[in-house]
A and B are shown apart, each in its own frame.
Chain A
Amino acid sequence: MPNKERGLIELYNDDPERAEYLVFGRKAGPDRRGFLRGAGLASMGAVLGTTIPFSSNMPAGLMPAALAETINEFSIDSKHADMIVHNDRPMNVEAAAHLLDDDITPAAHHFIRNNGTMPMPMSKADWRLKIDGEVNEELELSYDDLMNDFEQVTMQAQLECGGNGRAGFNPLPRGNPWSIGAIGNAEWTGVRVRDILRRAGVKPSAVYTGHFSYDEHLSGDPDRQAISRGGPIDKMMDPGTIIALKMNGEDIPIEHGYPARIVAPGWAGSVSQKWVTRIWVRDREHDGPGMTGLSYRIPRFPVEAGAEVAHEDMMVMGSMIVKSAITNPIAGAETRAGAPFAIRGQAWAGDNHVVKMETSIDFGATWQTAQLHAPANRFAWQRWEQTVIPPMAGYYEVWARATDNQGNSQPMVVPGWNPRGYLNNACHRIHFTAV
């Protein structure tokens, strides 16, 4: 049968309450929760395959997580089979949420966001890092120079794509439709950018960096760069910003930037140039591809969904914002009614850290504080754990909400729309069934 009916997601995007009336016959109560005289409860239960114990709390217009979660069958070598491939040229791959359960993300579970080609690996012997621009002395450093002449540091670092969560925005902004898995927390070893810049001698005129790499533009034009972003000098001089030479104790895999890349944790991943060959210290905000127009920029003030925003009203994104993921169980797990059920995940907050983690299994009517672990080091994500007891058999959703040390917490609904779909930190939710 040709697919003629409109998809659930489109219906919910148009008008969620009308959608659930059309699909399930649901009418919510006057408080916009629950099911008015049970209207639609039986048909939603039939679709979910079970009853909904906290149905009286369920917000109007909420698509059940069981239907909102999607499965993708595309796979790629060297990556776990559950990684979600959005594209192969350029390569863009994210992790299914349950693959983020390790405290240190294995390379096989770490998202990939390429803008250009996957380059042929440059040998360590041929590789050089050039430092120029607003410095007293230009440097050209070899791999061995970095290994031997500078202090090596090892740290866990969260790297998150600026567009992680883009798929939740409506209308859908252009770009990869990431769900929640464009985040990773690998252990990186390398040299502080600060130490290198100090060796070169940073002039007072230095305000920003521009980053260059040896991958190629997709058009094959050697005069174009696939991407060339940078960061304000304060972020680059932060001791947490490094030129990484190892990922999880091994040479960095080619897809993650062999033989060396920047790791500027807590900021949009594009600041952390892979295959880096040059840091240009600049006297103004860098203007390479990915710095101007709408790219990696957000409106200076809230805008209506779908609005056209003048380029001068956009500003470069800084730190990523507070967020969390439920990494265990896998969405759709079954558990026993009345018995304790362990739930856990990771939480992070860009340059900040998470101070409180809460979960709800009754559609947000009540929240329970979860156990939250300290980060392994500054910029590492944080493990959280919770035990819940589903009181009776049926369909449940876990909602998870982190709060950072600045008092920012995650919204339950998608936050401010912006033209390219950055910074969606809406609460992650998954469903489970008690039997």
Chain B
Amino acid sequence: MKTLFSTCGAAIAAALLVMAAPSLSSADERITTLADVPEDFEFYPLPPGEGVDEVYYGCIACHSLRTVTNGAYSRAVWDELLDWMVDDQGMMAPEPDIRDVMLDYLATYIGEDWEG
């Protein structure tokens, strides 16, 4: 009952949102919620985007990708997290250009507007 109620509510709210605030929609086609990432996507649960494979293989060695999709962090937090993984957590340091690709992906696709 509760699930149905909440889901209906959210759906109606989303519909209202589109009607009331069309200016908030951007041309950007990216997926912004975990629920919308197709389960058969090869890098699930990461959303598609440039750098997804670098992030997937850079992270999956030690922990599940849910650790990443629980994020919704700013670029500064992702930057600090990558340093922390290398300095404190035993991550093999990525080449600088790969690190840039990973950080761009994380900040762009799992940024503060992401819903994990």
By DSSP majority rule, is chain A's interface helix, strand, loop, or mixed? loop
Known: A90-B63, A289-B88. A332 touches B32 (CB 8 A): no
Determine the chain B residues whose CB is within 8 A of the CB of A64 once the complex forms: 9
Known: A23-B17, A219-B90. A8 touches B113 (CB 8 A): no
B72/A172 in contact, CB under 8 A: yes
A8/B17 in contact, CB under 8 A: yes
Nearest Cβ distance between residue B99 and chain A, in whole angstroms? 18
Q: How many pairs of residues, A versus B, come closer than 8 Å at their CB atoms?
A: 129
Determine the chain B residues whose CB is within 8 A of the CB of A11 once the complex forms: 17, 24
Nearest Cβ distance between residue B103 and chain A, in whole angstroms? 14
Is A334 engaged at the interface, CB distance under 8 Å to the other chain? yes
CB-contacts of B64-99 with A (<8 A): 64, 66-67, 70-74, 77, 81, 88-91
Determine the chain A residues whose CB is within 8 A of the CB of B71 once the complex forms: 172, 174
Known: A67-B10, A87-B66. A172 touches B16 (CB 8 A): no
A23/B116 in contact, CB under 8 A: no
B26/A4 in contact, CB under 8 A: yes
Q: Which of B20, B36, B81 has the most CB of A within 10 A?
A: B20
Determine the chain A residues whose CB is within 8 A of the CB of B6 once the complex forms: 66-67, 69-71, 332
The distance in angstroms between the C-alpha atoms of A43 and B14, with both chains bound, is 12
CB-contacts of B1-51 with A (<8 A): 1-3, 5-10, 12-14, 16-18, 20-21, 24-26, 28-29, 31-33, 36
B5/A332 in contact, CB under 8 A: yes
Determine the chain B residues whose CB is within 8 A of the CB of A22 once the complex forms: 17, 20-21, 24
Is A217 engaged at the interface, CB distance under 8 Å to the other chain? yes
A8/B26 in contact, CB under 8 A: no
A330/B70 in contact, CB under 8 A: no
Set A7, A23, A171: member contacting B16, Cβ < 8 A:
A23
Determine the chain A residues whose CB is within 8 A of the CB of B66 once the complex forms: 85-88
Is A47 engaged at the interface, CB distance under 8 Å to the other chain? yes
CB-contacts of A320-344 with B (<8 A): 330-334
CB-contacts of A187-242 with B (<8 A): 217-221, 224
Is B115 engaged at the interface, CB distance under 8 Å to the other chain? yes
B14/A5 in contact, CB under 8 A: yes
- Please give the number of chain A residues whose Cβ is less than 8 angstroms from any Cβ of chain B in the complex: 51
A4/B9 in contact, CB under 8 A: no
A25/B91 in contact, CB under 8 A: no
Is A2 engaged at the interface, CB distance under 8 Å to the other chain? yes
A67/B36 in contact, CB under 8 A: no
Determine the chain B residues whose CB is within 8 A of the CB of A333 once the complex forms: 1-2
A219: nearest chain-B partner, CB-CB: B90
A172/B24 in contact, CB under 8 A: no
The distance in angstroms between the C-alpha atoms of A10 and B33, with both chains bound, is 11
The distance in angstroms between the C-alpha atoms of A218 and B9, with both chains bound, is 40
Known: A9-B115, A66-B9, A67-B13. A224 touches B31 (CB 8 A): no
Determine the chain A residues whose CB is within 8 A of the CB of B72 once the complex forms: 172
Is A311 engaged at the interface, CB distance under 8 Å to the other chain? no
Q: Which of B12, B73, B91 has the most CB of A within 10 A?
A: B12
Is A177 engaged at the interface, CB distance under 8 Å to the other chain? yes
Set A2, A172, A177, A219: member contacting B89, Cβ < 8 A:
A219
The distance in angstroms between the C-alpha atoms of A322 and B36, with both chains bound, is 37
Nearest Cβ distance between residue A64 and chain B, in whole angstroms? 8
Chain B residues within CB distance 8 Å of chain A? 1-3, 5-10, 12-14, 16-18, 20-21, 24-26, 28-29, 31-33, 36, 61-64, 66-67, 70-74, 77, 81, 88-91, 112-113, 115-116
Would you give 20 A-B contacts (Cβ < 8 Å), ordered by A? A3-B31, A5-B18, A6-B17, A7-B33, A7-B115, A8-B13, A9-B115, A10-B112, A22-B20, A22-B21, A23-B16, A66-B6, A67-B13, A85-B66, A86-B66, A90-B63, A171-B73, A174-B77, A332-B2, A334-B1
Chain A residues within CB distance 8 Å of chain B? 2-11, 22-25, 43, 46-49, 64, 66-67, 69-71, 85-90, 171-174, 176-177, 217-221, 224, 289, 306, 330-334, 433
